[in-house]
Structure 1
Amino acid sequence: MKKILFIFLVGLLANACTDGFEEANINPYEISSESLKQDNNDIGSYFPSLLSNIFGHQIEENLIAESFCDYMATPTPFVSGVNNTTYYITWNTYWNRIYNNLMSPSGQVIRKALDDDKEVFAAWAKLIRILGMSRLTTYHGPVIYTEYGQANAGYDSEADLYDAFFSDLDDIQAVFSANEDYPALKAFDASYDGSVAKWEMLVNSMRLKLAIRISEVAPELAKAEGEKAIADPAGLILSNTDNFEISLYGSDLYLAIICFQWNDTRMSAGMESFLVGLKDPRIDKYFQRVNNSSLVADHPDYPYKGIRNGAELVAKGDHTSYSLIAESFATVTERPYLAAAEVYFDLAEAALRGWDGAGDAAANYEAGVRASFEQWGAGGVDAYLADATSTPIDYNDVVYDNRGDGSINDFISRSTVTVAWDEAANNEVKLEKIITQKWIAGFTNPNEPWADFRRTGYPKLPHVYQNSSNGDWGVIPADDWIRRMPFVDGERQSNPEGVAAAVATMKGGDLISTRLWWDTGGSNF
């Protein structure tokens, strides 16, 4: 009897000790998985990284799109002066950034969000995918999108890819419009402070951007999608207060690092030609004046000096005294992805193409210029818009004047564009004005300007001085420009069948001379 009683008491004590054991042993200072779910941190914490990786850095952007669209140029003779900037492909890693740091983690986010019935987060992640992939395709052409994450995923042809973008934007917008009061994005949204309505505006503005991009190669689809964007009740980004800017999350702007810390980038000669020639007040918002007046003897009232892209370079120090970017870029906290000025210029082109609802081309053009001046804090917009005589200037690289060969790196401007709108001009002349101003306005965001340049031929930029292209990557004729980036070596080596199938959908081989789908090479109208 005593033995039975002892066993009973031990059991009773054991039960008393273990009741509430889980609660008693929870660390009150530790974040539990359940609390993460309640605060949406298990999903929302991914978004700053996803957004940050939409953009590239030096070898992914500055020495590719930013060089090819003539925003910046390097004073550094990398790889003995034969590299991307002279059309010999040396760096090609944007593909890896987008797939490793955006597509892969966003897939996890989408699956988890849908499993937890958080479809707004899933739609947000899908939109960020489009923001990144719509840039990547301007580098390579076909990319892996609709089948990404599947075994043996295939490349989407460019035509199929844009169909998928537009379809996905439909789905994303449907979710956003049904959840405009959704509060949970706020804690993770450094761009729009959780405003779903502003993300809807971005969806429409992205749809318009993509429609404009394919307007020559697929005019009926482009018109339908562009008109859908214009007519959507959520509206477009038409005010600088609604600009889509991506936070740097405490980091320095990539361009400030490359320019100020590494001394590897300076104003381009193309920017000097256009901004000085057009007497553009935005020039001192973009660049610093040079200290040596002999560098700007041909335009002393505008003491800014750029480097020709694909320049012949001997020593880095030869050109580091040329114009740096403005000091203000050292302290910026965010970077523009899509601003009101770009949307107005897209509307101006849409009006030229006769799209319903686009409004008046001249009014949109002038609104775009005004929005850009406001965005950059520049004055004098009225006089600028009225200037019908100033044109881009010729370029002289004075470094070589002092060495007895004044022709090296020099060029005669190919452009005679003026700022003032001319209603009597034909559509080609009007488009040149629109795209030239869109290019100027888009500074620090070179992806679409590079696409526009290939798509339209505007602005009329100079050719590279040193063209090192050859049979390794494709030959660029002396009177042409690089057209795309080749597929990355990792894909060429590990997925040759996929690359071959992708190339079969293109206008040529996996070469830098092959035009992308929307780069038709023909008339713009």
Structure 2
Amino acid sequence: MKKLRFKLYKPVAIIALAAGILGLNACTKNFEEYNTDNTGLTEDDLKADFNYIGGFFPQIQSSIYFNFNNTTADYQLQQNLMGDVYSGYMMPPNNFRGNVNNMTYSLVDGWNAAPFNLAYNNVMAPIYEVRRRGAAVSAPEFWAIALILKVEAMHRVTDIYGPIPYSSYGSGGTTSSYDKQEDVYNRFFKELDTAVTTLNTYVTQHPGVSLFAKFDMLYGGDYKQWIKFANSLRLRLAVRISGVAAAKAQAEAEKALNPANGGVMEITKDNANVSGFGLKNPLFTIVTAWTDNAMNASMESFLVGYNDPRLPKYFDHATAYPGKYKGIRIGSLVEAKPAYNGYSVPATAETKTFKATTPLQLMTAAEVWFLRAEAALNGWGNAGGTPGELYEKGMRASFSQWDADPVAVNNYVADNTAKPIDYVDPRNAANNHVAMTNITIKWDDAATKAAKMERIITQKWIAIYPEGQEAWSEYRRTGYPKLFPVVTNYSNGTINTDIQIRRIPFPSTEYTSNKAEVEKAIKLLGPGAADNGGVRLWWDIPH
């Protein structure tokens, strides 16, 4: 295990203190050595206006959907070449490593380590430092927000790998023990309990006061909005485990939806988006400067098939095929650039949805309405309506978020004929595939529960774009939407082409520095499990 070092510095006119973290191994728990602040400020100097703990939060917030210090290459590995592709959202027009890469299920270890190392070095380590500096006592509202951000960041990590080091993180020693995923989730719920209780108490006792405002990249210091985010996050996690821990899932969902606890996201203003402090949207760079991103064929099938009014907000027309939207199927053996550069890309040229300044989306009100629709479908309390009513509210919330025409919304939710289309690759017929489903849009109370679930998840999938990591998790949990399978599977039989990829293996650095613990972690995946991409996580049960 290597030691992490904090470097405290003072960017001009932006923030009085921020934390940069150096180090290669993400599980490090030896924090006894720290660099001094090169501004000459002491910890006592910074306590007056809470910079001594608040200064860590810009790094934490911009390291979830990773682009801390605008290191776009890290984001590309953490998110864009994993969740964004496996979710059916995107596919690079780049034949990285001669097409022997994550898109063809030949999982690249150097890529696989990115979500693990980035989260521990840039989220867990600074949160540990916030705790070490006594935030839980001296600034409990700061600590509450740290816990919310911790859960938001680390549920993404456990949903990539399965067991992760969590409960013992920061306890000292030279190894990091892994928790099974069920225990990690249970700890998430407890941490959200602490956060919501703390913030509700603070808001009652200090109405209108927010010392966190100048560090806040999501809500400008509005603690009531943070409470809604925490409750919405609890609902997301509750629904995630509904297939494997139904009673626990229902209890946590009903707690999240209990109005007495502060409410959940309902309108666009509630959305959790990260911006400010010079943060740039990495998709803009990847698309416009690197030409490394394009529409996935599954997105084309659904959005074009549904004549979805959001399509121009999501993607640009294909320059190689004027007037058309054209995606690339996952696992296609793409030729070297610029062969596929004329396919549709995330909207940077026409509607300019994705600019350098576009906030990074963590969670939206639309997602929450769809979560509520599923809660109602499960018969849980506090959902606030019937499944059909909540399903329609989810679509309307998404259209509102993307500034769609109200008339278009009405036509869309009433459409009972439009269906996903077959995929045709004009460059290579070997990539063609018939549509995976004939599911329509309009709610049908007479449909089977499976059809109702498919509608809910399909529309949620469309609505939460471009957050591919969450979309991939929901695909694994439910099997919806029905995505095109990988064209070329180089996994040597470890990943089933039809079932598709279920997780990412642990980084090789864990085998060299934490071997005994990572071997225990593999056993926590289940009897006879191996560390490969075909093994299901705890909440990912066959459907």
TM over 0.5: yes
Paired AA for residue 60 in structure 1: Q
**CA shift at 1:479, angstroms?**
2.0
**Which string of whole-angstrom CA distances, capped at 9 and with x for unpartnered residues, describes residues 489-514 of structure 1?**
11122112111211112132211100
Q: Deviations over 1:86-145 (max 9, x none)?
A: 101111111000001110111001221337611221222122111110110110001111
Letter in 2 for 1:381: V
Asked if residue 214 in structure 1 is aligned to residue 241 in structure 2, the reply is yes
Asked if the contact 2:53–2:135 (Cα under 8 Å) also holds between the matched residues in 1, the reply is no
Structure 2 equivalent of residue 483 of structure 1: 502
Q: 42, 50, 66: which is aligned to 1:40?
A: 50
Q: Is the 8 A contact 1:52 1:248 kept in 2?
A: no
Whole-angstrom CA distance in 2 between matches of 1:30 and 1:464? 55
Match of 2:285 among 245, 257, 275: 257
Amino acid at match of 1:446: G
Report what 1:457 is aligned to: 479
Cα-to-partner distance string for 1:165-184 (whole Å, 9 max, x where unaligned): 11111111111111013421
Query: What does 1:65-80 align with in structure 2 at a 5 Å threshold?
Result: 65-80=83-98
Q: Distance in 2 between matches of 1:367 and 1:179?
A: 31
- Structure 1 distance, partners of 2:136, 2:458, is 47
Deviations for 1:477-498, whole angstroms, at most 9, x for unmatched residues? 2322001000111112211211
2:295 touches 2:327 (CA, 8 Å); kept in 1? yes
Could you tell me which residue of structure 2 aligns to residue 239 of structure 1? 267
Deviation at 1:79, TM superposition (A): 0.4
Write the mapping of 1:15-54 to structure 2, written as runs, cut at 5 A: 33-54=43-64
Query: Which deviations, in whole Å up to 9, do the C-alpha atoms of 1:188-247 show, x marking residues without a partner?
Result: 113111111111111110110000000001000000000011114200011111111111
Report deviation, 1:32.
5.8
Q: Which amino acid is 2:63 matched to?
A: N
Matches within 5 A, 1:3-402: 33-56=43-66, 57-90=75-108, 91-92=111-112, 93-114=114-135, 117-150=138-171, 151=173, 152-180=175-203, 181=206, 182-233=209-260, 234-247=262-275, 249-292=277-320, 295=321, 303-327=324-348, 328=352, 329-358=354-383, 359-379=385-405, 380-400=408-428
Q: Distance in 2 between matches of 1:83 and 1:265?
A: 15
The question of whether the paired residues in 2 share the 8 Å contact of 1:110 and 1:121 is answered with no
Q: Which has more radius of gyration? A: 1
Alpha-carbon shift at residue 315 of structure 1 (Å)? 2.1
Are the counterparts in 1 of residues 282 and 356 from structure 2 also a CA contact under 8 Å? no
Higher helix proportion (structure 1 or 2): 1
Is residue 511 from structure 1 mapped to residue 532 from structure 2 by the alignment? yes
**What displacement does 1:457 show?**
0.3
Q: Distance in 2 between matches of 1:369 and 1:349?
A: 14
Q: Indicate the SS of the match to 1:179.
A: helix
Distance 1:153 1:55 in 2: 24
Distance (Å, rounded) in 1 between the aligned partners of 2:389 and 2:277:
36
SS in 1 for 2:437: coil
Tell me, in whole angstroms, the C-alpha distance in 1 between the residues paired with 2:325 and 2:276: 28
Q: Secondary structure at the match of 1:155?
A: coil
TM-score, normalisation: structure 1 = 0.88
Displacement of 1:325 in angstroms is: 1.5
Q: Which amino acid aligns with 1:519?
A: D
Unaligned runs of 5+ in 2: 1-38, 67-74
Structure-2 separation of matches of 1:485 and 1:331: 29
- The whole-number CA distance in structure 2 between the counterparts of 1:166 and 1:232 is 18
Question: What whole-Å deviation, never above 9, does each CA across 1:53-82 have from its counterpart, x for those lacking one?
Answer: 011311111000000011110111110111
The alignment partner of 2:202 has SS state of: coil
Instruction: Say which SS state the counterpart of residue 336 (structure 1) adopts.
Output: strand
* 2:80 alignment partner AA: N
Distance in 2 (alpha carbons) for counterparts of 1:503 and 1:197: 40
| Counterparts of 1:260 and 1:175, CA distance in 2 | 43
**Cα offsets for 1:350-388 (capped at 9, x unmatched):** 011110111211111000000001101122111011110
Shift of 1:37: 1.0
Report the CA distance shift for 1:270/1:344 in structure 2 as closer, same or farther (over 3 A): same
2:442 maps to 420
CA apart distance, 1:454:
0.5
Structure 1 residue runs of 5 or longer lacking an equivalent are 1-28, 401-406
Q: Distance in 2 between matches of 1:42 and 1:116?
A: 14
> Greater shift after overlay, 454-463 or 504-513?
504-513
Alignment CA distance shift 1:431-1:116 (3 Å): closer
In the alignment, which residue of structure 2 is the partner of 1:467? 489
Q: Return the alpha-carbon distance in structure 1 between the equivalents of residues 394 and 60 of structure 2.
A: 29
Letter in 2 for 1:440: I
Deviations 1:220-277 (A, max 9, x none): 0000000011114200011111111111532331111111110011111111110000
Equivalent position SS for 1:178? helix
Seen in structure 2, the aligned counterparts of structure 1 residues 436 and 503 have a Cα distance that, compared at 3 Å, is: same
- Which residue does 2:32 correspond to in 1? none
2:6 maps to none
Share of identical aligned residues, percent? 40
1:408-460 CA-to-partner distances (Å, cap 9, x unmatched) read 11111111111100010011101100100111111121121101100100000
Letter in 1 for 2:48: Q
Q: Give the TM-score, by structure 2 length.
A: 0.86
SS at match of 1:337: strand
Separation (CA, whole Å) in 2 of partners of 1:325 and 1:479: 27
Using the TM superposition, give the Cα deviation of residue 332 of structure 1 relative to its aligned residue in structure 2, in angstroms: 3.4
- How much does 1:291 deviate? 3.2
Q: What code does the residue aligned with 1:374 have?
A: S
